[in-house]
Structure 1
């Protein structure tokens, strides 16, 4: 296993454009890092630089403290799992998994090959399929074979390049769970590229959000969600995404297209001196005012709006409210949309309502908003004016502690299963040592700074 250090990495192509621009991240031994961002943000390029498939224009890449910029991919001892599986159609599942062991001629005995392959197959529930060919497997099974091939290599780290994008939604959910459990058991350093919100939020210890080759923020999923550093991160993380509502501020009052919203003085002070701000509102900050308990009303404000329509999902429903921004604010919203790989940000507020709410489209309704949780963003720079950096860092510290405990528990259970059957631990690898209570720093800052995890 390995720690991976990225020191001011830059990748420029022939035209001089920096596809990756001055990215620094410290990935701790055993950590699971997610690289996420819109198409063309540089996440796959960065992954390929780590594994050695792309040259590094500037900066240093270190694996276990050793600089590896000039090392060939085969000498970095990293295992890559690709989007298209990259299986050999004429070989059985067994031989596909064993292929990297056979490639290292003379290094592994036949007994050792058999043990490593069967152990990996057991981990991935492929034992019954070892004599089948890839053409006779489902997409999820093929991806498990690709992961099995990575496991038997006993590599220092796993690198995943959008491995689930070819699967349907149900299989993606199943495979997410399997990858997460496998990484916990093995305790192996992993770097995972995705554009999928759910994968980013559910898999990683920390998530690195990239935009146009630059690192915007790296933190635990919860810190990114609750304490985003800027407009881009706030809008990219979360589904449905955060609503952005232009407003002018006067005292503790926001003047918006939805009406006047009273906000806590502590929030208003952060935006002092700015005429215009963008208000960031998660859909779950809203509720049908009739269903809000009396003691909660003091924690928010109520406004009247007409919903265009609602969508009932069983456990909850979404309501949609259109608003008309000023022309200059529409330009700001459209610019943000282009950064997030969308044509435009519709001037629309999405609200989450209780499934029992009787609010329907076309009717005027009373909506309650929890103003304690809203964010205020500078309309020009995109900076989150109300971000609490220390509260965010605490969320990441807590996530790291919880994750360490989960890994230790998973590995202990794996060892107990192995000792009960007289088998070795998964893939013949000794369990990783994870020290609970030694949290990694969140490093949640804008691009250009150093993001440590130690």
Structure 2
């Protein structure tokens, strides 16, 4: 089922504006992540879709039909909460079949059990049918919550920070299972998370939010490779993007800083955006360079700048080199087999094809 969010706003009674006129579309069968820091509006959006909150204004459509005035039970939406919300006195089977045994669409016990067993098999918990939640691990309880959300054959599945209570290794496995499950069922899914790695790994598209506004809505790769603004560039990436305040030197036709310069003739004119000329005239531009785009200069190649490495951080298949660029902490990444160590002098070449430029308000200029 396709979802259309149109001009959605939410202002609470204390005047706090949680959502500010957001609009986006979710294609049928897509898994979309609402990503952002705490308080950005992602859970508010999810709760309005579910009908647990009323919007101040705006509309939500599912396959062209507005659901904004429908009662939550009539929206045919499955929801998985952060704390799983399982009934502790019920067995796994009883928890999963519960939505089929209550309400206007209750089914006979035998049919409810048959449907429950189908989804329990799909989520790998069928052998736990007689267990109670207290005797299960967090990952197993999460599977029960997902199976229970799916038994009613909902149009849409909503997941609110479903993995935040799990350890790192289990989170990795469960998120892969969620991706496989929702794609095998074809159900349109909205997944709320503050974890960028989680969102990048499982999403078809990501809505990155901040202060009640969607900063960018795009496929995961584009948010990283082509950020819409400074907030997006800073939020995505680990290690985080390096940022430098540069001044424009008209006589040299270059952006200059204490550590390195960026000649304008090294930039691709096709990537220059409206506002760059105005920012250059003001004399200040913020350059964003991801750690992987500081390249260690090969022997015989003249570096763009040379620094002393403060520390080397080993992270699996690569290492992070930390250094000071005239008062600005910066980092680069190298293969973990690199011989570079603390205190070494390292020359860097800048990958000019992959830098970003922003004005002081964070607007993307290049």
User: What is the TM-score normalised by the length of structure 1?
Assistant: 0.75
Q: What is residue 277 of structure 1 aligned with on the other side?
A: 285
1:59 aligns with 2:39: no
User: What is the TM-score normalised by the length of structure 2?
Assistant: 0.92
- Rate the CA distance shift 1:120–1:269 in 2: closer, same or farther, 3 A: closer
Q: Secondary structure at the match of 2:285?
A: strand
Q: Secondary structure at the match of 2:352?
A: coil
Unaligned runs of 5+ in 2: none
1:376 aligned to which of 351, 357, 362: 357
1:304 aligns with 2:303: no
Q: Deviations over 1:3-25 (max 9, x none)?
A: 22111011011122211110111
Compute the displacement of 1:105 (Å). Answer: 5.9
Matches within 5 A, 1:149-298: 149-250=148-249, 253-262=254-263, 264-266=266-268, 271-273=276-278, 274=280, 275-290=283-298
Compute the displacement of 1:315 (Å). Answer: 1.7
Compute the displacement of 1:176 (Å). Answer: 0.7
> Hey, what's the Cα distance between the residues in 2 that align with 1:257 and 1:35?
39
Mean Cα deviation higher: 100-109 or 160-169: 100-109
- Rate the CA distance shift 1:59–1:313 in 2: closer, same or farther, 3 A: closer
Q: What is residue 104 of structure 1 aligned with on the other side?
A: 103
Compute the displacement of 1:183 (Å). Answer: 1.1
CA contact (8 A) 2:35 2:199 kept: yes
- Rate the CA distance shift 1:249–1:358 in 2: closer, same or farther, 3 A: farther
> Hey, what's the Cα distance between the residues in 2 that align with 1:222 and 1:252?
32
Compute the displacement of 1:314 (Å). Answer: 4.1
Compute the displacement of 1:353 (Å). Answer: 1.2
> Hey, what's the Cα distance between the residues in 2 that align with 1:14 and 1:361?
54
1:385 aligns with 2:365: yes
Q: Secondary structure at the match of 2:206?
A: strand
CA contact (8 A) 2:33 2:207 kept: yes
Compute the displacement of 1:238 (Å). Answer: 1.6
Q: Secondary structure at the match of 2:55?
A: coil
> Hey, what's the Cα distance between the residues in 2 that align with 1:149 and 1:257?
59
CA contact (8 A) 2:268 2:353 kept: no
Compute the displacement of 1:302 (Å). Answer: 3.1
Compute the displacement of 1:249 (Å). Answer: 3.1
CA contact (8 A) 2:267 2:353 kept: no
Unaligned runs of 5+ in 1: 326-346, 387-454
Q: Secondary structure at the match of 1:155?
A: coil
CA contact (8 A) 1:316 1:355 kept: yes
Compute the displacement of 1:269 (Å). Answer: 5.6
> Hey, what's the Cα distance between the residues in 1 that align with 2:73 and 2:124?
28
Q: Deviations over 1:39-65 (max 9, x none)?
A: 111110111011001111111121222
> Hey, what's the Cα distance between the residues in 2 that align with 1:28 and 1:87?
30
> Hey, what's the Cα distance between the residues in 1 that align with 2:157 and 2:72?
13
> What is the total number of aligned residue pairs between the two structures?
357
- Rate the CA distance shift 1:163–1:269 in 2: closer, same or farther, 3 A: closer
CA contact (8 A) 2:307 2:324 kept: no
CA RMSD across the alignment? 1.9
Compute the displacement of 1:262 (Å). Answer: 4.3
Larger helix proportion of the pair: 1
Q: What is residue 93 of structure 2 aligned with on the other side?
A: 94
CA contact (8 A) 2:100 2:107 kept: yes
> Hey, what's the Cα distance between the residues in 2 that align with 1:261 and 1:361?
27
Q: Secondary structure at the match of 2:353?
A: coil
